[in-house]
Structure 1
Amino acid sequence: MIARKVFYKDKQVENERLELTDKGAIYFLGRNLTLKNCTLVLKVAARNLFIRDVRFIDCTFEVKQELVNHQDWIRASLKGCRFKGRLSGCDFGHWPEYGNEPEYQLGTIEDCDFSEARLDACRFHGDDPSTLRFPRWPCFTLLDPLRRADELCNLKWPERFGRSLISLLDQSPEKRYKHPRSTMALSYYAPAEAKRLDTTEEAFKAAIEKCDFIVY
């Protein structure tokens, strides 16, 4: 069956509710699209959602199906937005050198609220994380992880998590492109990581207690 294509582009939309929930559709947001005070209900896989050159202002994202490995947020400007639901392996903000196209230069995130979201292995690039609200335990967020790399690696993590964290830091824009201070925060969901590594949530909490650069 050929997927139905749905386009939102070249306009400004305010105070509307957009239901992006048809699993037989591919949704294209952009180019030159501004959404303000809108609610977006997302219930499709990452491969069915494309974001290009979009400005989201004071929008709410209700993620009804876990959004996995969705990188297109780095092609969007997000200001004053709220996220609800499950997101895994997603990137937000400005990732320098990711691409030379103008749409990649738009990527930014500011004053956004993830307190009602569940984040696992999500990265925040190039912006000030102090303007963001992160989810609390059992989620935890590592702030400024490259600058804190030595301290992070010395924490008593479950062993395989410690190794995977080092590997992830080595793949960051700072390491790959020698760009300073791009990856500003990393967020994880302790139950998912514990299940993946066959360990306990308590093992993660024991590692991060008393660290003032970890939000939990």
Structure 2
Amino acid sequence: MIQFSDQEITGERMELDSKTELYYLGHHLTLRNCTLILKVPARALVVSKTRLIDCTIDARKELKGFSWDHAHLKGCRFTGTLSGCDFGRWPDEEADQIGGIEDCDFTGARLEACRFLQCDSRTLKFPSWPCFTLLDPVRRKDELLAIQWPGTMRITVESFVEGPPETAAVTYFAPAVAKRTGTTQEAIRAVLDTLPGVIL
């Protein structure tokens, strides 16, 4: 295991590759203006009680099912592919946890089934089509379930509208959704174009 904790690191390029079994970032670690190159699966990465400020996080290998809820991300830029990742702060998180996200840029990333919790989505830049972002999906449950979705996409919609009410946004990758739900990107886009609270 390689661990970074109880320090502030500025302006470093940190490459996390699969040669190590586990990378542990935290506790009380601050990374400022660093570039984090991720080449590890989620099971080989722990980020806990860590602040990342003005960093670039580049997922060179698809990062699946990782929760950033024990990290505070401010002014960071994400690139690469992230799927099933959570950002922000879980509603039941302990008071000493510092999870949060603000002023981050995902325009260079591909996001699939990623959630943003207890944050101000207006401070975030989301990726453009073929990614799409639905704002405030849980509070808009009735509106979103009333729509005639193509293929079996309603199942996907049902899954995200049942999340915590503090879900500020969800982002999906249209080609992956189309393949999974037996429809086309064009059919998905046609519905999204009619909806408010969507970022394309």
TM-score bucket (shorter structure)? over 0.9
- The correspondence for 2:123, drawn from 105, 108, 131, is 131
CA distance in 2: counterparts of 1:159 and 1:183, whole angstroms: 25
Displacement of 1:25 in angstroms is 2.7
- The correspondence for 2:48, drawn from 35, 52, 72, is 52
CA distance in 2: counterparts of 1:167 and 1:66, whole angstroms: 22
Displacement of 1:151 in angstroms is 1.9
**1:92 and 2:76 are equivalent in the alignment:** no
- The correspondence for 1:201, drawn from 166, 182, 185, is 185
Equivalent residues of 2:34, 2:54 under 8 A apart: yes
Counterpart position of 2:149: 157
Displacement of 1:167 in angstroms is 3.0
Greater displacement, 147-156 / 83-92? 147-156
Give 1 or 2: higher helix fraction: 1
Equivalent residues of 2:138, 2:160 under 8 A apart: no
In the TM superposition, 1:31-42 aligns within 5 A as 31-42=27-38
Q: Residue 74 of structure 1: SS of its match in structure 2?
A: coil
Displacement of 1:92 in angstroms is 0.3
Cα-Cα RMSD: 1.3
CA distance in 2: counterparts of 1:83 and 1:187, whole angstroms: 14
Moved over 2 A (4+): 22-25, 99-103
TM-score when normalising by structure 2: 0.95
Q: Where in structure 2 are there 5+ consecutive unaligned residues?
A: none
- AA matched with 1:140: F
Counterpart position of 1:121: 113
